[in-house]
Structure 1
Amino acid sequence: MTSEKLQHIATYKVAIILFRKLLKSGTITESEFHRCESNIAEKCGLSLCSIYREIA
């Protein structure tokens, strides 16, 4: 795995942590969380069936 791919995975994981905090605090809804997760996964180049994704 290239360092670029590892950077994309790390970026995705950090974003998910932030989105989960927003979800837990009630700032965003569950559907907004799913939308955010899908968008960041796409931007980071993670496919729908990637083992790194939180939601499949």
Structure 2
Amino acid sequence: MGRWMVLATIIHEFAHHNGAPITGGDTSAEEAVYHCGLGTSDEYYGGEDDPSTPYDPSVGG
């Protein structure tokens, strides 16, 4: 899981580098991890964390 968390962090930070706000309740940097295939649709749309993925819907915002 460690390597996937590193990848998720890099994707998240690239999203900030490309304009995703750091503050203000915007979750686009967190959503980038899901949109890159590192989370499930249940996590993204339902808000329920799946510990087998690096995406965590409770992070951000």
- TM-score, normalising length: structure 2: 0.45
Higher helix share: 1
- TM-score, normalising length: structure 1: 0.48
Q: Which has the larger radius of gyration?
A: 1
